[in-house]
Amino acid sequence: MKLEAVKIGAFTAPNNVFLAPIAGYSNAVFREMCSELGAGLTFTEMVSAKALCFGSRKTEELLYIGEGYRGLKACQIFGSDPQFMRRACESEALAPFDIVDVNMGCPMPKIYKNGEGSALLGDLKLAERIISECKKSGKTVTAKLRIGLGDGHYVTAAAARACEEGGADMVTVHGRTREKIYSGDVNYREIEAAKKAVKIPVIANGGIFTPLDADILMAKTGADGVMIARGALFDPWLFARITGTPEGDRRARVLKQIDDTVSVYGERFALVYMRKLAGFYVKGKKGAASARSSFFACKSTEELKDLVKAVF
């Protein structure tokens, strides 16, 4: 794919290969790692606007930014009340962030049934009001949406226009409906429809696990860039291969990720989290199943590091 800078409101991402907000995974250490491997923009996992307004310490912890992070700072918030969304944007917790993304795509029942996430696709006037209120905070505002709630009920172009009319500076389109969750083929035509409907940048999301996947998604949608989610969990070095960034020593990078995660989040969290990621990273390698079993049997991060040294 052709690498280009992307102007997003008052800011410019150095390239058009982004890391998606990934619930439970895109913490500060992982975001910094992906940025070093070439990601032009990384997002925090989604956080509740209401929780931020009520000063939830646990929610604010999801927004931690490492001292070494030098890229644009972007977070994602979710909610259905325009006033709470604006207050969240104006909160001290979001003060360090350059860009705030509005979640209009989360398909999970708990979020959807509360009228949040992808439920906003069923009320585009509300979605537009939410973005308009968020813009009043003075923040650069983007939105991430899906193509509709179910097959045959696509609202992609209309949703993108609603976002633009509300003042959004960029939209990302996940090319699946809410009911598909993460399964099924990506609908290129609907992402293309969004691109044709608005003048702001449109980023394509869904099904990127190789550089060729990114090439195809760009070619078939005409999007301004791509956003990678699950593909990054299994292979963060994918950013390097797409952008031409040196990968460096994989073993050293994973060991550093473990150490940094311990430093920021503590031993207990780091052990559980890095056992899962180490298991993801060996997918497709010879002996991967055995390696994953060994990772999950580790009782400490030091033991995990010893195994990483043996496997990578």
Task: Tell whether 78 and 220 lie within a shared domain.
Answer: yes
* Choice among 89, 106, 134, 163 that is catalytic: 106
- Which residue range is the domain that position 33 belongs to? 6-243
Angle between helices 28-36 and 250-265 (to 10 degrees): 150
- For residue 67, the model assigns a pLDDT of 87
- For residue 180, the model assigns a pLDDT of 85
* Percentage, residues of the chain above pLDDT 90: 92
In a domain? residue 203: yes
Task: Tell whether 276 and 232 lie within a shared domain.
Answer: no
Task: Tell whether 51 and 152 lie within a shared domain.
Answer: yes
Task: Tell whether 84 and 204 lie within a shared domain.
Answer: yes
In a domain? residue 234: yes
- For residue 282, the model assigns a pLDDT of 95
In a domain? residue 99: yes
* Residue 296 CB neighbours (<10 A): 13
Task: Tell whether 197 and 257 lie within a shared domain.
Answer: no
Q: Provide the CATH number for the domain around residue 291.
A: 1.10.1200
Last residue of a domain, one of 214, 243, 272: 243
Task: Tell whether 21 and 37 lie within a shared domain.
Answer: yes
Of the candidate ranges 55-59, 71-75, 192-196, the one whose mean pLDDT is the lowest: 55-59
User: How do residues 2-46 score in pLDDT, each as one tens digit?
Assistant: 999 999 999 999 999 999 999 999 999 999 999 999 999 999 999
User: Tokens for 105?
Assistant: 């795509």
User: How do residues 108-166 score in pLDDT, each as one tens digit?
Assistant: 999 999 999 999 999 999 999 999 999 999 999 999 999 999 888 899 999 999 999 99
Query: For residue 240, what pLDDT band results from cuts at 50, 70 and 90?
Result: very high
In a domain? residue 187: yes
Query: For residue 297, what pLDDT band results from cuts at 50, 70 and 90?
Result: very high
Which DSSP symbol is given to 20?
P
- For residue 183, the model assigns a pLDDT of 84
Last residue of a domain, one of 216, 243, 270: 243
pTM of the full structure: 0.96
**53 labelled catalytic:** no
Task: Tell whether 88 and 151 lie within a shared domain.
Answer: yes
In a domain? residue 166: yes
**Average pLDDT score over the chain:** 96
Task: Tell whether 185 and 100 lie within a shared domain.
Answer: yes
Query: For residue 68, what pLDDT band results from cuts at 50, 70 and 90?
Result: confident
Last residue of a domain, one of 199, 221, 243: 243
Question: With contact defined as beta carbons under 8 Å apart, do 94 and 53 qualify?
Answer: no
> Which of 163, 161, 160, 110 shows the shortest CA–CA distance to 134?
163
Task: Tell whether 231 and 281 lie within a shared domain.
Answer: no
Task: Tell whether 172 and 276 lie within a shared domain.
Answer: no
* Residues 39, 41: Cα–Cα separation, whole Å: 6
- DSSP per-residue string spanning 178-198: GGGTT-S---HHHHHHHHHH-
- For residue 285, the model assigns a pLDDT of 87
Of the candidate ranges 57-61, 173-177, 223-227, the one whose mean pLDDT is the lowest: 57-61
* Residues 121, 138: Cα–Cα separation, whole Å: 24
User: How do residues 91-100 score in pLDDT, each as one tens digit?
Assistant: 999 999 999 9
Q: Provide the CATH number for the domain around residue 36.
A: 3.20.20.70
Query: How many distinct structural domains can be found in the chain?
Result: 2
